[in-house]
């Protein structure tokens, strides 16, 4: 059995009306309160935010992607530069994924993108082979063949040095059969054990690993996969893979999984993070979320806004040309409090990069404030009222 002496997860409050909970997740780089939002620094950088600006916005924890860093600059270089925390100059808790999601998106591509709302951005890459051993793909950067396996994924994450790691898994898309999904889930279980064994081989107490619940849209497969993660000495549990094509299916997948996972471990929901998703899945017991949308939407002129229909407004819209009001002074940072919407509109009309910098920080700040208010509401038993204030 692995133990994680430098890590802990304490559940401080339960919402009596549902599975929502407030927790404290401690790592060697500090502790965060949960529920919380993990912001994506895909290629070892938050899009258009310095670490200081992310901190100012209230971010507690970020992630980076194994797939991207493996290809550029390479995990060996990050390790020689002192690890990901030092490389990025982020001194707080950090998570890396295992690379599985991106690698299998190469093969299963468009459907996984559709389900997860991701852009297809791997057009020049190809998944060459999936076998029990692992996956072989072609780098979209330089065309070389790259092997990824449970062992390699853990070695890369070890070298990168984040606090929270993910087991290697196969991420199946929506259109696969039940049979393929079942066999894939069973392989992810064997890959989970290989991930744990490789992790244990070099375990030094500085990192902790999550198991991942797979099983597509099939209740029995999700239950089996969830029970597997609970039976092994993972530090945390992540819910991944195909979540279905609709909000209802996604809800079902999580509702089937959560009763069978380990009840006292932190639960991460991979790649999901619209405001309404956060409210919905906090109630099912999700502790942390991650999604690229806070910074991606910023690049397209969208600002998350409490109570806005569709959750966002688009600052490129002509109706903001004369709007002297700031985005939302409740965030209490200059990006949200001081600049007028008219100014941000002007910046996007003028292709000034400052526009997306302002929106990226505003979006992070908005989601951080929402998470803080969610934690308070769970303690106070007022989650329903809070959701009505946030979700139109």
Q: Which residues bind a second copy (CB under 8 A)?
A: 43-52, 68, 72-73, 77, 80-82, 87-89, 321-322, 324, 334-335, 338-340, 342-343, 345-347, 349-350, 352-358
Token pair 């072609």 is at which residue?
Answer: 138
3-state secondary structure of 236: strand
Instruction: For residues 138 and 126, give the distance between their C-alpha atoms in angstroms, rounded to a whole number.
Output: 5
Q: Residue 90 Cβ, how far from a second copy at the closest point, in Å? A: 11
Q: How many residues does the chain have?
A: 392
Contacts of 279 (CB under 8 A, 6+ apart): 374, 383, 386, 387, 390, 391
Least distance from a second copy to the Cβ atom of residue 340, Å? 6
CB of 53 to a second copy, least distance (A): 8
Shortest Å, Cβ 274 to a second copy: 23
CA proximity to 55, closest of 65, 64, 46 = 46
Q: Which is nearer to a second copy, 346 or 372 (CB)?
A: 346
Catalytic residue among 15, 60, 97, 163: 97
Instruction: Evaluate whether 118 touches 271 at the Cβ level (below 8 Å).
Output: yes
Nearer to a second copy, 84 or 367 (CB): 84
Structure-token pair, residue 20? 């929502």
State which residue, 3 or 317, has the beta carbon closest to a second copy. Answer: 317
- For residue 97, indicate whether it is catalytic: yes
* 169 included as an active-site residue: no
3-state secondary structure 278-300: HHHHHCCCCCEEEECHHHHHHHC
The Cα–Cα gap between 61 and 59 comes to 6
Task: Please choose, from the candidates 209, 215, 210, the residue with its C-alpha nearest in 3D space to the C-alpha of residue 241.
Answer: 215
* Cβ 198 vs Cβ 154: under 8 Å: yes
CB of 86 to a second copy, least distance (A): 8
How many CB atoms lie under 10 A from the CB of residue 354?
Answer: 14
Q: How far is the CB of 70 from a second copy (least distance, A)?
A: 13
- Pick 193 or 323: Cβ nearer a second copy: 323
Instruction: For a second copy, give the closer residue by CB, 26 or 340.
Output: 340
Considering the complex, state which of residue 18 and residue 340 has its C-beta at the smaller distance from a second copy: 340
CA distances from 226 to 97, 186, 231, 334 (A): 18, 12, 9, 43
How many other CB atoms sit within 10 Å of the CB of residue 186?
16
The one catalytic residue in 15, 277, 290, 328 is: 290
Q: Which residues have a catalytic role annotated? A: 97, 290
């Amino acid at each position: 059995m692995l133990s994680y002496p430098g890590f802990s997860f304490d559940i401080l409050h339960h919402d009596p009306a549902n599975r929502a909970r407030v927790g404290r997740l401690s790592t060697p780089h500090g502790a965060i309160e949960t529920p919380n939002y993990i912001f994506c620094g895909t290629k070892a950088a938050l899009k258009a935010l310095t670490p200081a600006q992310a901190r100012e916005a209230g971010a507690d924890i970020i992630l980076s992607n194994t797939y991207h860093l493996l290809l550029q600059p390479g995990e060996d270089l990050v390790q020689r530069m002192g690890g990901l925390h030092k490389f990025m100059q982020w001194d707080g808790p950090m998570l890396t994924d295992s690379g599985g999601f991106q690698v299998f998106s190469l093969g299963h591509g468009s459907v996984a993108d559709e389900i997860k709302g991701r852009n297809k951005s791997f057009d020049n890459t190809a998944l060459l082979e999936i076998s029990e051993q692992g996956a072989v793909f072609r780098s979209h950067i330089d065309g070389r063949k790259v092997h990824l396996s449970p062992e390699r994924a853990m070695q890369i994450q070890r070298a990168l040095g984040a606090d929270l790691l993910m087991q290697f898994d196969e991420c199946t898309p929506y259109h696969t059969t039940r049979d393929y999904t079942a066999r894939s889930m069973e392989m992810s279980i064997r890959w989970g054990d290989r991930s744990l064994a490789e992790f244990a081989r070099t375990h030094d107490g500085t990192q902790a690993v999550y198991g991942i619940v797979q099983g597509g849209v099939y209740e029995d497969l999700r239950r089996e996969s969830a029970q597997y993660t609970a039976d092994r000495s993972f530090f945390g549990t992540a819910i991944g893979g195909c979540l279905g094509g609709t909000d209802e299916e996604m809800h079902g997948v999580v509702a089937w999984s959560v009763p069978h996972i380990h009840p006292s471990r932190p639960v991460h929901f991979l790649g999901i993070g619209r405001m309404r998703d956060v409210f919905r899945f906090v109630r099912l017991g999700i502790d942390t979320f991650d999604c690229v949308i806070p910074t991606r939407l910023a690049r397209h002129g969208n600002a998350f806004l409490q109570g806005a229909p569709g959750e966002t407004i688009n600052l490129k819209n002509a109706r903001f040309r004369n709007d002297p009001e700031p985005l939302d002074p409740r965030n209490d940072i200059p990006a949200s409090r001081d600049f007028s919407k008219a100014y941000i509109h002007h910046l996007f009309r003028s292709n000034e990069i400052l526009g997306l910098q302002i929106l990226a920080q505003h979006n992070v700040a908005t989601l951080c404030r929402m998470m803080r208010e969610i934690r308070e509401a769970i303690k106070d038993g007022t989650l329903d009222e809070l959701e009505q204030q946030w979700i139109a």
